[in-house]
Chain A
Amino acid sequence: MSRKIHPSVVGAQPFQLTARETFDGPIFETPEGKERLEMALSRYPQKQAALLPMLHFVQEKKGWIEPDDMAQVAEALDLTPAYVHSIATFYTMYNKHPVGRHLVQVCTNISCHLNKGEEVLERFLAETGARQGEISDDGEFTVIEAECLGACGFATVVQVNDRYFEDVTPEKVADIVAELRSTAVGTEGGS
């Protein structure tokens, strides 16, 4: 991992997208999977509590969570697959469909709407060539509309994987997309 995260919160933070990989075999039989499961379980009195961290872990690795992953998480935590499905679909920050290397979320809530958020979204779609919610043909981008990202003082806000782009105007979009194209996933914040 490129970022330093305190071990106690590994897996508890949303969108720590590090790669677009697949698991080599059953998730919790891989060394990494075992380690993360044990780490999460050690923090809670009940297995069920490790559900969100484990879903985050899967998403960190793959970029999204598919039903088979949910079933594996369910088995590891003694839950029913249906229950895991319900939790995974409840939270919008878990991706239930594959996403591009860069997941671009454009806020169009009140502040951003007043600051041309809709137009920013349109420009992102045009620049990346992706249709909303789908992966662009080159596999680089998925652009979606997001509700409030909690940075209303800096509208329009765009979140790309973990990184916030603030005060985005339609004119800046082309540069951002160009920058992202040349950036490896997981290092957006660092370069």
Chain B
Amino acid sequence: MTNGEAKRAVTLTIDGTEITVPQGTRVIEAAERVGVVVPRYCYHPGIPTRPAQCRMCLVEVEGRPKLEPSCTLQAQDEMVVHTASDTAEKARQSVIEFLLVNHPLDCPICDAAGQCMLQDYAYVTNQLESRLNEPKQVMGRDRVADDILYFADRCIICTRCVRFMRDVAEDDALIVAQRGHKAYIDTFPGRELDNPFQGNIVDVCPVGALVHEDFVFKARSWDMDATTSICPGCTTGCNVTIDTKENQIVRLKPRYNPDVNSYWMCDHGRKHLVMTNRGVRAEVPMVSVDGALQPTDWERALDHVADLVDDASGANGAAIVSANASNEDLLLLLPLLGRLDVSSIVFRVPTGETAALPTVPKLQLRADRVANAYGLELLGAERVEELPALAEGAPLVVLDDLLEGADESFGATASPFIYLGTRLPAAARNADAVLPIATFAEMDGTFTNFEGRVQRFHQALTPPGLARPGWMVLSRLLARLGEGDPLSDIGAAFDRVAGTSEPYAGLTWDSIGLKGALVSGAGATAASMGSGS
């Protein structure tokens, strides 16, 4: 096919609305453009194979004797499609009735209830009574991976999971066993899935058949709040939705972004973030009184720190920042470091093994297991392997680095030693002041991923105790030092980033949107960063 042909457009009518789409577009996708979502089970936009086997997306096409599956039907000129004609609806109702023949209807204990496509369509087709007189077939439950359970009774054999593993992950380890009403999803006997991207089979499951074990019975879908965010598990920066309940992260779901992660994310990311629920947090500002940290309030703590900064005199100070710090946090730290005459800003990056999803080149679990390594470098921080040696009497500022590998007296001779952190490691006890800050999940902000795409994340949780976002705390501290007004709006904080750092020039919080934006010069720098190996 030449380019000219590829660009040819066809015009068709779907439910009375005329729409022009490129040739080759399937009717189910053309319908979405006019706002019509044709019911579907086996079709998934991210999975290339379309077996048209669920028969849910059958539509009526004028002039054709039989209903056609809209997921494989190509749009053609002058085609007139009715997605909800009586014939199509009746066919759909029959499909649902067949699917419900052996379905246990255990919605009250099913984790998918509330976001289940079978539940939705069964409700829409309004079949309240079953015509089945026989007892239902019971198939039971199985484990397909160390953290994924399979409820065979709920399964409708749409084979999305099988096709994800085979056609997207290219790991043909999940199959349909048996056939007909006995069919179920299975792995080879005695083996389980072992793929770094296997969690996606749970996401593509349109019903409650595949469930993450750590999510089973944990939350009803209507009890959870969903927040648009970014996975901090590695420098890829997969777009995700954080589902929270009672101020705890319950699970992560990938969010579609064709420029980053498509529809998928890796298992490391999923598990990594749920782990952030754990551990004891720094919740109260503390200042050192006679060598011991004493809790205080924000006003006194910030006044105290401002005094410390004013009194600081030592040279060759150091700043250690967490590679998970947001762009705004680091940007607002810079004027403070300027006042302290600190020019060395370093961060450390934990690394791990990489993993790639073969059919989505950009989506990799990258070696750098942090969210913002590239963003910190753009703002002038330097990546190091070891904690820096500290000059005696020099200022030391730590932004949420857990000071792993530091001995107990780390920073004891620094003057002043200011610790802004989400937690309170042993070495932070030597600080002159501890300011509790929020994790990325507890605030708004931006990360810049491996290729220089700046992406927004939003507040999903309430910070514990008196902890507040780092950029908010720092802006108030700077106001006390006579550097700008206090900030309470993330848009204004990002404007400072855009106004200060050349690569971000011209970007605004709104223009980044929910899909992110490439910083200027991103391509060249990203190439030198490598693709994560």
Contact = CB atoms under 8 A, between A and B. Distances in A.
Given A82-B172, A83-B172, A89 B190 contact: no
Contacts of B186: 82, 85-86, 89
A71 interface: yes
A171 B172 CA distance: 51
Contacts of A80: 172-173, 188
A80 B172 CA distance: 6
A81 B177 contact: no
A86 B165 CA distance: 14
B66 interface: no
A85 B176 contact: no
Contacts of B178: 89-90
Interface string A128-166: 000000000000000000000000000000000000000
Interface string B176-217: 111100000011111100000000000000000000000000
Interface residues of A, number: 12
A115 B69 CA distance: 42
A67 B189 CA distance: 7
B88 interface: no
B532 to A, nearest CB: 28
Contacts of B191: 81-82
Interface string A30-58: 00000000000000000000000000000
B176 A82 contact: no
Contacts of B172: 79-80, 82-83
B187 A82 contact: yes
Nearest to A83: B172
B346 interface: no
A85 B179 contact: no
B203 to A, nearest CB: 21
A82 B190 contact: no
A79 B175 CA distance: 13
Query: Chain A: interface secondary structure?
Result: helix
B173 A86 contact: no
A79 B174 CA distance: 13
Interface in B319-375: none
A94 to B, nearest CB: 11
Contacts of B189: 67, 85
B511 to A, nearest CB: 46
Contacts of B175: 82-83, 85-86
B51 to A, nearest CB: 14
B49 to A, nearest CB: 15
Nearest to B177: A89
B188 A90 contact: no
A85 B172 CA distance: 11
A85 B173 contact: no
Interface string B360-399: 0000000000000000000000000000000000000000
Contacts of B173: 80, 82
B190 A67 contact: yes
B74 to A, nearest CB: 28
A82 B174 contact: yes
Of A71, A83, A89, the most chain B CB neighbours within 10 A belong to A89
Interface in A69-90: 70-71, 79-83, 85-86, 89-90
Interface string B53-66: 00000000000000
Contacts of B174: 82
Contacts of B188: 67, 70-71, 80-82, 85
B190 A85 contact: no
B177 A86 contact: yes
A70 B189 CA distance: 10
Nearest to B187: A82
Nearest to B162: A86
Nearest to A79: B172
Nearest to B179: A90
A82 B188 CA distance: 4
Contacts of A86: 175-177, 186
A60 B175 CA distance: 25
Contacts of A71: 188
A82 B191 CA distance: 9
Interface in A9-29: none
A161 B320 CA distance: 77
Contacts of B190: 67
A67 B188 CA distance: 8
A71 B173 CA distance: 12
A67 B173 CA distance: 14
Of A79, A86, A90, the most chain B CB neighbours within 10 A belong to A86
Contacts of A82: 172-175, 186-188, 191
Contacts of A70: 188
B188 to A, nearest CB: 4
Nearest to B175: A86
Contacts of A83: 172, 175
Interface string B115-155: 00000000000000000000000000000000000000000
15 contacts: A67-B189, A70-B188, A79-B172, A80-B172, A80-B188, A81-B188, A81-B191, A82-B175, A82-B191, A83-B172, A83-B175, A85-B186, A86-B175, A89-B177, A89-B186
Interface of B: 172-179, 186-191
8 shortest interchain CB distances as A-B pairs: A86-B175, A81-B188, A82-B188, A80-B172, A89-B177, A67-B189, A82-B175, A82-B173
Given A70-B188, A82-B173, A82-B187, 17 more contacts: A67-B188, A67-B189, A67-B190, A71-B188, A79-B172, A80-B173, A80-B188, A81-B191, A82-B174, A82-B191, A83-B172, A85-B177, A86-B176, A89-B178, A89-B186, A90-B176, A90-B178
Interface of A: 67, 70-71, 79-83, 85-86, 89-90
